[in-house]
Structure formats: C-alpha cells, structure tokens
C-alpha cells in the first residue's frame, strides 16, 4: 500500500481549533522566518545532508522560541527531494515557500508527515490534558505504509512533554526499532518530564531564549505575516495592532519568547502588567474593587488570550521578585525592586516560591477541568493578599507546604 493513501493529520481546511496555535499569529508550520537559532539550524542541515542523520532529535528549550518552527523547516527539506538535492548546510534549512511540498506540510496533508499532538475533542469541546495513546498508535499505520524510493518520513511530536504515560511507552517502542529514513522530531519545553529511556534514544538540540533584537524582529515578522496574509496560512485574520515601539517596550517582559511577546502585544500585556504592579505594590491592602474589576475583565467571553497573558505575566513577575529578594538582582525596573523589598524577606522567601508553584498548579488544573476563570483569577489575587499579610493558610500553602 502506498503512503499516499494515508492522510496522517487533519488538514487546515478541517477548521478545528489547534492547541499549538496562538490566535493572531502564524502557526509554526506556516512561519517563514526563524531568527536566533542559526547554529542549531546548520547542525541539523549538516546532519541531513550527510545522509547519516540520527533518527530521533529532542529539540528542547523554553516555550515560544522557535522549536516547532525549526522542526517544520527540517520537515519541508527532508520531504522535498528537490530541496534536499540543493541543500547547502551553511545556509540552513530554507525551502521554497510556494513548492507543492511546502504547501502540503503547511496544510498537514503530506503523506510523509505525521504530527502527534493534543487534538480538539468536538464532543467535550476542549483539548485533552495530555496526548492520548491513541494518537501515538497512529504511528503503526503511518510507518507500515511503503514510502517512495529514498523518501524520508517525518514524525513531529509537539509537545513531547505532553505525552501521557501510555502514549510515551507506545512512542518508545517506535524509537527503539526505527524504520529506515524516518525522522522523529520531539519538541519539548520541559524535557525533564520525558521518560529517561526516550531521552536516551534522542540526540538533544537545545535552543536558547532569543536576544532582544531577534525577538523584536521575529515578533514583527509574525504580525506582518498575519496582516499581509504572507505565510499566515489559516491563522485567524486578527488585526496586527502592535508596532515596533510596542514590541520593543514589551520585549523585557517576554523572557526571550516570541510567543510571549505576541501574547503581550495582542493580549493587552502592558495594561495587565501595569495593573499587576499596582496591585502588588498595594499589598497587603489592595483596592478590593480593583481586584474584582480585574477578575471580571479576564473572565469576559472573548478574553481568553488576556487571561493566559495575565497568568504568564504574574508567574514571571513573581519569579523575578523572588529572585531579586534572594539575590538583589532580577527585577525589571524600580517598581519591581520595590515590590521585592517590601514583600520578600528571608523568612518568607520559601513561601513566595511555594506560592509561585501553587499558582502554576492551579492554572494547569483550571485548563484541564475547564474551571471558571473569574473564580481562578480572584482566588489567585486573594492568595497573594493573604501571603502579603503573612497568612500561609489563606494563601493555600498549608496544604502544600
């Protein structure tokens, strides 16, 4: 049976939500520009050109820095015999954007590509918490098809740290006995969560956070792609409201992540950050009306992106404040340093670090169980207020501390 008879992943025309798509930005498979990772790209290009490329790669690094974009760039070259024949390792993995292979990869209907990820559950109308074993079992059919002569096949797992236990074990079996000319590309922001046996079978490629210049340039390219329809593919036609000045102002808060920068730019990041600063500087006696107003704003029907931005900003801000309290460095600006000086003491340092973990855990539970957003925001703000008063139990730390 020919591989062309298989359709390994949903095509873009299916119109289903994608867990790995950020609204108002091109998906990584639609992204034409990759900045800041030239050495990693050349390493993959040299390995592919040699014909002796390792069968499994763990592409690791913080979220939103271009890991999946790099994986799709490699896939477009490997799956296109013409592009592979012209591959110059020193120029990276650029492939013609208008080639039939590039369009097939972008639409997820190339017979040599299988993407394993969390997929939308139309019955429950949400994404599963983890990648289920059924998604990985599609590998059997995909790898069982006969590929063309000298043709590569590519399997992208994004994100590999979202694999459930059974799914991870099922993937391990394929990694242990890989077929010829098949590349496994595991994208991971938290490689420590992977089974050691999976990590040991992969060649690891670590990507670093982007420097400010590359970060701003990548953010501009993403917004221009959506606004101009160039490389935006099926991305929602959200107006690109941010300009270079906005991106430059928000860059210090983005932690080197393009995804975070775009979230900030399009999710009211600066206003949310200012609100957080005001609330934390007022602790332990914040304006209660302001707390409830913020919770109302973030729980509005169309505020999902602002909701995600809020929690990303809050956890990053807490991390910097705790770090500054411990080391005297890490805060961005005088306001953050002032918050650290007033809230973080040697005897409360561990409590604030524990609260950072608690907020992350509660956020993950809220996503998994589709909990009420207003309640989560308000409870989080009240936890902050309680700990600022020295009330560990009110902050929810007695249960976990």
Burial class, 235, CB count within 10 angstroms (exposed 0-12 / middle 13-18 / buried 19+) = buried
> Do the beta carbons of residue 345 and residue 395 sit within 8 Å?
no
Domain ranges of the chain: 3-206, 267-388
CA–CA separation, 68 and 113 (whole Å):
14
Q: Residues, the chain, total?
A: 401
| CATH number of this structure's domain 3-206 | 3.40.50.300
Give per-residue burial for 242-274: e unless 16+ CB within 10 Å, then b: beeebbeebbebbbbbbbbbbbbbbbbbbebbe
Instruction: Map residue 269 onto helix, strand or coil.
Output: helix
Note the Cα 153 to chain centre separation in Å. 24
Beta sheet of 56-60, edge-to-edge order: 113-116, 153-158, 182-188, 56-60, 203-206
Helix (H) or strand (E) holding 237: none
> Can you give the pLDDT at residue 380?
95
Question: Which residue, among 6, 14, 28, 31, has the nearest Cα to 110 in the 3D structure?
Answer: 6
Pairing of the two strands 182-188 and 56-60: parallel
> Do the beta carbons of residue 400 and residue 354 sit within 8 Å?
yes
Q: At residue 188, what are phi and psi to the nearest 5 degrees?
A: -150, 130
Cα-based distances in Å from 342 to 5, 61, 282, 337, 354 = 64, 33, 10, 9, 18
Helix (H) or strand (E) holding 67: helix 67-78
- pLDDT tens-place values along the chain, 401 residues long: 333 333 344 444 457 889 888 888 899 999 988 999 999 999 999 999 998 999 999 999 999 999 999 999 999 999 999 999 999 999 999 888 889 999 999 999 999 999 999 999 898 888 888 999 999 999 999 988 766 677 899 999 999 999 999 999 999 999 999 888 999 999 999 999 999 999 999 999 999 999 999 999 999 999 888 877 654 444 343 434 566 778 999 999 999 999 999 989 887 889 999 999 999 999 999 999 999 999 999 999 888 889 988 998 999 999 999 999 999 999 999 999 999 999 999 999 999 999 999 998 888 888 777 788 999 999 999 999 999 999 999 998 865 44
Q: Alpha-carbon torsion 180, 98, 110, 158, what sign? A: positive
Give the number of other CB atoms < 10 A from CB of residue 123: 6
């Amino acid at each position: 049976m020919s591989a062309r008879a298989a359709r390994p992943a949903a095509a873009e025309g299916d119109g289903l939500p994608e867990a790995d798509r950020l609204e108002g930005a091109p998906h990584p498979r639609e992204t034409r520009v990759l900045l800041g990772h030239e050495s990693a790209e050349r390493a993959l290009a040299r390995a592919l050109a040699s014909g002796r490329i390792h069968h499994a790669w763990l592409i690791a690094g913080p979220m939103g820095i271009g890991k999946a974009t790099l994986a799709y760039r490699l896939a477009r070259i490997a799956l296109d015999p013409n592009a592979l024949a012209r591959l110059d390792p020193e120029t990276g993995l650029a492939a013609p954007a208008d080639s039939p292979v590039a369009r097939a990869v972008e639409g997820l209907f190339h017979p040599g590509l299988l993407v394993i990820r969390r997929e939308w559950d139309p019955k429950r109308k949400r994404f599963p918490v983890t990648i289920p074993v059924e998604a990985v079992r599609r590998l059997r059919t995909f790898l069982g098809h006969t590929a063309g002569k000298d043709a590569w096949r590519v399997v992208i797992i994004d994100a590999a740290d979202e694999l459930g236990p059974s799914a991870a074990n099922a993937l391990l079996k394929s990694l242990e006995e890989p077929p010829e000319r098949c590349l496994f590309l595991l994208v991971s922001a938290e490689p420590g969560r992977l089974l050691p046996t999976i990590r040991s079978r992969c060649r690891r490629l670590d990507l670093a956070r982007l420097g400010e210049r590359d970060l701003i340039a990548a953010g501009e390219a993403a917004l221009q792609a959506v606004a101009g329809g160039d490389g935006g593919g099926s991305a929602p036609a959200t107006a690109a409201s941010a300009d270079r000045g906005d991106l430059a102002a928000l860059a210090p808060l983005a932690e080197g992540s393009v995804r975070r920068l775009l979230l900030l730019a399009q999710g009211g990041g600066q206003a949310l950050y200012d609100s957080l600063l005001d609330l934390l500087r007022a602790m332990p006696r914040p304006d209660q009306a302001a707390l409830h107003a913020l919770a109302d704003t973030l729980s509005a029907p169309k505020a999902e992106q602002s909701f995600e931005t809020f929690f990303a900003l809050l956890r990053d801000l807490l991390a910097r404040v705790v770090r500054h309290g411990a080391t005297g460095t890490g805060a961005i600006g005088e306001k953050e340093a002032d918050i650290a000086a007033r809230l973080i003491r040697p005897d409360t340092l561990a409590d604030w670090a524990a609260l950072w973990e608690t907020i992350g855990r509660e956020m993950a539970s809220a996503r998994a169980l589709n909990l009420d957003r207003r309640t989560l925001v308000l409870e989080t703000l009240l936890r902050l207020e309680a700990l600022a008063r020295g009330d560990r139990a009110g902050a929810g730390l007695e249960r976990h501390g």
